[in-house]
Homo-oligomer: A and B are copies of this chain.
Amino acid sequence: MENFSNKEKNLRELAGRIYDLDEEVYRELGSALGRVFNGKKEDCIEETVRMMHERNQAYILRSELALISNMARTIPDRSTRRGIMRKYDEILKEVTELPTSFIKGDILDQKIAQLNMLNLQSRFSKNDHLIICIGRTYGCGGSEIGFTLADTLKINYYDVEIFDEVLKRLEAEKESVMDRGGYPYKKDGKDRRQYLNEIPAFAPAPKSTLKEKFREFNRYHGLPKKDAVFFNQSDLLCDMAKKEDFVVMGRCADAILTNNRIPHISIFITAPLEQRIHRVMEVRGVENEKKARHLLAKLDKAHIKYYKYYTGRNWGKAKNYDLCINSASYGIQGSVDLIMRMIRREGAN
């Protein structure tokens, strides 16, 4: 036998135990499914050790261990099964601790993780507030989920209408900044509800005269009005984030908070198109399926454009959120419960 270093001896010993475990499982279950290791013991050990040395072979060892344990779990006799699983657990633990282990080299991104409130690995300070950003497709019940979530958590809820109200009230000059960041409002100064009554849609801001444009140019430091609205909202959002816990719907809040390095939870909610069509017809009184389908297509397109324009990111892509939820799988209360479970506060009324 060759001369091995201590480290090498340990690896060979571990590989030997994997081989023996496979043999033991095979002995218990008979020949039904064959063995993972078929060759001579010495050869198998050498091959396994080779895998332990090379990072890019780690996943093969993982598959082999999974195969052995999958089979071991089918051993009928309980105490035999337990004994074998105990050995397996020990082996797995040691394999996992190898420097080449398949579990090493985490996908965790520190920059992303630091901003993610749901991440367990880095708890942040008590001064940080609980901020939940919810993006959603129209007609998926997302607003209702957000509202109910805020109510369950007893924290504030902000959506486009409320943002407008708050901004309107904060502005000394009441007429100056209103969110037309896409939403067409009939605004005749008489009845606030009249424009709230509109189904929000991302339409271009109403055309203004040249004179109005000049006035706006000066007022917003040369920014187009809708951009000024957006930046006002952004300021308000970051300001609020220093003071209170809240749920915020849309407004590119996730991107704004990320850019300002403010920890938050970003969630995207959607549902299959058929369910959204159904809901838009039922809840918002859109008369027929064709109209509902058309409306949703238009809104999705505008949503994508708006989000891309202000954030440079792709709206609704899973990789841009901490979490995406299919509301048709859970319903409104079910989705709220799911989010509550994730933030580790036991759910609902």
Seen from chain A, the residues whose Cβ lies within 8 Å of a Cβ on chain B are 32-34, 36, 47, 51, 55-60, 62-63, 66-67, 69-70, 73, 85, 92, 102-103, 105-109, 112-113, 116, 118-121, 139-141, 143-144, 147-148, 150-151, 154-159, 161-162, 165-166, 169-170, 193, 196-197, 244, 268, 270-273, 275-276, 279, 282-285, 316, 318-334, 337-338, 341-342, 344
Contacts and interface: CB of A to CB of B under 8 A. Distances in A.
A147 B66 contact: yes
Those 3 A-B pairs whose CB atoms lie nearest each other, nearest first: A108-B331, A107-B141, A324-B324
A271 to B, nearest CB: 5
Contact of A60 (B141, B196, B333): B196
Contact of A331 (B73, B106, B162, B244): B106
B144 A103 contact: yes
A108 B324 contact: no
A25 to B, nearest CB: 13
Contacts of A113: 328-331, 334
Main secondary structure of the interface of A (DSSP, over half): helix
Contacts of A273: 319
Contacts of A57: 193, 197
Nearest to A33: B169
Contacts of A62: 143-144, 147
A169 B56 CA distance: 26
29 contacts: A34-B169, A47-B193, A55-B285, A58-B283, A66-B147, A66-B150, A66-B157, A66-B158, A67-B165, A69-B157, A70-B158, A73-B155, A92-B151, A103-B144, A103-B333, A107-B140, A107-B271, A107-B276, A109-B271, A109-B275, A109-B329, A112-B275, A113-B331, A116-B329, A118-B338, A121-B330, A272-B319, A323-B325, A324-B324
Contacts of A316: 318
Contacts of A327: 107-108
A130 B113 CA distance: 29
Nearest to A335: B107
A67 B324 contact: no
Contacts of A66: 147, 150, 156-159, 162
